[in-house]
């Protein structure tokens, strides 16, 4: 039986899932609650095409990001979206970071990522103002206008006959009689399948039993603009803490030529809590009722407190940045809008470390699609489409 598939969420993942389904001959409706595409994570991120360096070999993140880094700049060129391969440095600023830098080098090679180990002198040739004791040079990293990519996907979907609805919020998914009724604040759509790509709300439509096992935890990532962009030529990342799901504050010359510093990772008190003062009591109560959040809190108490401190105390943040870029001063940093990451956390308090897609014959849930989800959106779209066409009678 063939019929309509409804995609909930018009971020990069939802649009890419819709694109993959339309490409496989399916009728698709995309429903987005905001007035335009990519208003949340897809429009508030670092704009980096990740290479696949960091992720566990064999994981979806490793496979899909490595492929995306190989292909996305060419796709963007074809679609008229600004993107380019820039390469990036991962810099060890202290000798105790060297074993982790070497482990990252090994991991990159295992994932098929083009990466070299550099001496401080060789790193200085690429980034003259950056200090390090050793560095990795990753060749396939790039930058991309991700909101532009979302617009290009929406245009291609419209041209292919998909129905695109903005300013419409999905409020319920009712399963029954082999169909799913997608209820919205403007009406309802009868579909053969629904795919939930709702980012920060990705757990909203999970069955209660599944929702007891996993919950989205929002982590705000704050950014600063570097007023002396001449200090940074490309992309400079620290050696990440392997126990953390985030990469650490980095320096990025974006697709528009601006250099930004960030993002940090601070627990947000609202799913769409872009400002420190944003608190959603209902969401906060829901989060506090989830055992995984308390376990996460205990596990990352020290790191979490340090991140919050650096967010509140500019000199502490500056010290972190100066490890890589000694010349930067407080006057060189100007706050810019933050993003909020949707990170799925399991009941045992561990952050899900891979993309997670779940579901059955009527509904598929993209439960975890954090970074490098923008990079790998087209691959995630194809993965989800193949999965649901194999499982559901569409």
Ligand X SMILES: Cc1cc2nc3c(=O)[nH]c(=O)nc-3n(C[C@H](O)[C@H](O)[C@H](O)COP(=O)(O)OP(=O)(O)OC[C@H]3O[C@@H](n4cnc5c(N)ncnc54)[C@H](O)[C@@H]3O)c2cc1C
Question: Which residues contact ligand X by CB under 6 A?
Answer: 8-14, 31-34, 38-42, 44-48, 50, 169-170, 197-201, 221, 263, 339-341, 369-375
Backbone angles phi, psi at 147, to 5 degrees: -60, -35
- Nearest distance from residue 301's CB to ligand X, in Å? 22
Separation between Cα atoms, residue 10 and residue 21, nearest integer Å: 14
Place of tokens 């050696």: 239
The CB-of-160 to ligand X minimum distance in angstroms stands at: 19
C-beta neighbour count of 167 within 10 angstroms: 12
Nearer CB in complex with ligand X: 246/290: 246
* 251 three-state secondary structure: strand
Q: How many CB atoms lie within 10 A of CB 157?
A: 23
Start-to-end C-alpha separation, the chain? 6
Residue 246 DSSP one-character state:
S
CB of 392 to ligand X, least distance (A): 20
Nearer to ligand X, 245 or 370 (CB): 370
CB of 95 to ligand X, least distance (A): 28
Least separation in angstroms between CB 34 and ligand X:
5
Instruction: Select 16 or 134, whichever has its Cβ closest to ligand X.
Output: 16
Closer residue to ligand X (CB): 32 or 307? 32
Q: Which is nearer to ligand X, 249 or 296 (CB)?
A: 249
Backbone CA torsion sign across 288, 290, 296, 299: positive
Neighbouring CB atoms inside 10 A of 377's CB total 29
- C-beta closer to ligand X: residue 26 or 50: 50
Cβ 305 to ligand X, closest distance in Å? 20
The string over 206-228, giving b where at least 16 C-beta atoms fall within 10 Å of a residue's C-beta and e elsewhere, is: beeeeeebbbbbbbbbbbbbbee
Which candidate, 25, 2, 8, 1, places its Cα nearest to that of 385?
25
Closest distance to ligand X from the beta carbon of 339 (Å):
3
Nearest approach in angstroms of CB 119 to ligand X is 27
DSSP letters, 347-385, are TTSPBP-S-EEEE-SSEEEEEE--TTTTTTHHHHHHHHH
Of 44 and 63, which CB lies nearer to ligand X in the complex structure? Answer: 44
* Closest CA relative to residue 134, chosen from 96, 107, 85: 96
Tokens of 86: 């820039």
Q: Minimum distance between the CB of residue 67 and ligand X, rounded to whole angstroms?
A: 13
Q: Which is nearer to ligand X, 135 or 374 (CB)?
A: 374
Which residue's CB is nearer to ligand X, number 170 or number 180?
170
Where do the DSSP E strands lie in 13-123? Answer: 27-31, 48-49, 83-85, 88-92, 115-118
């Amino acid at each position: 039986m063939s019929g309509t598939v409804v995609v909930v969420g018009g971020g990069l993942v939802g649009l890419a899932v819709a694109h993959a389904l339309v490409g496989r001959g399916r009728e698709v409706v995309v429903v987005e609650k905001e007035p335009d595409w990519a208003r949340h994570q897809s429009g508030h991120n670092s704009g980096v095409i990740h290479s696949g360096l960091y992720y566990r070999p064999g994981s979806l993140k490793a496979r899909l990001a490595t492929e995306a880094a190989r292909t996305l700049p060419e796709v963007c060129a074809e679609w008229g979206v600004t993107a380019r391969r820039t390469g990036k440095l991962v810099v060890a600023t202290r000798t105790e970071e060297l074993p982790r830098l070497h482990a990252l080098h090994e991991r990159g090679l295992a994932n098929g990522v083009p990466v070299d180990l550099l001496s401080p002198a060789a790193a200085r040739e690429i980034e003259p103002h950056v200090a390090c004791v050793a560095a990795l040079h990753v060749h396939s990293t790039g930058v991309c206008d991700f909101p532009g990519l979302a617009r290009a996907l929406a245009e291609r979907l419209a041209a292919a006959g998909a129905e695109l609805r903005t300013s419409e919020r999905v409020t319920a998914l009712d399963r029954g009689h082999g169909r799913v009724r997608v209820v919205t604040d403007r009406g309802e759509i009868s579909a053969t399948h629904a795919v939930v790509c709702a980012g920060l709300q990705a757990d909203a439509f999970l069955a209660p039993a599944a929702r007891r096992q996993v919950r989205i935890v929002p982590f705000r990532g704050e950014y600063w603009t570097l007023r002396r962009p001449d200090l940074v030529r490309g992309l400079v990342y620290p050696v990440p803490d392997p126990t953390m799901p985030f990469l650490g504050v980095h320096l990025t010359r974006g697709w528009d030529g601006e250099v930004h510093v960030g993002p940090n990772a601070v627990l947000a008190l609202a799913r769409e809590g872009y400002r420190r003062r944003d608190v959603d009591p209902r969401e906060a109560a829901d989060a506090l009722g989830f055992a995984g959040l308390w376990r996460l809190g205990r596990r990352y108490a020290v790191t979490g407190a340090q991140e919050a401190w650096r967010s509140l105390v500019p000199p502490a943040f500056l010290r972190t940045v100066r490890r890589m870029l000694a010349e930067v001063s407080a006057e060189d940093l100007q706050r810019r809008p933050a993003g909020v990451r949707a990170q799925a956390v399991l009941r045992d308090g561990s952050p899900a470390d891979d993309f997670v897609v779940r579901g059955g014959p009527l509904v598929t849930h993209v439960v975890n699609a954090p970074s490098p989800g923008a990079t790998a959106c087209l691959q995630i779209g194809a993965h989800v489409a193949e999965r649901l066409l194999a499982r559901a009678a569409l």
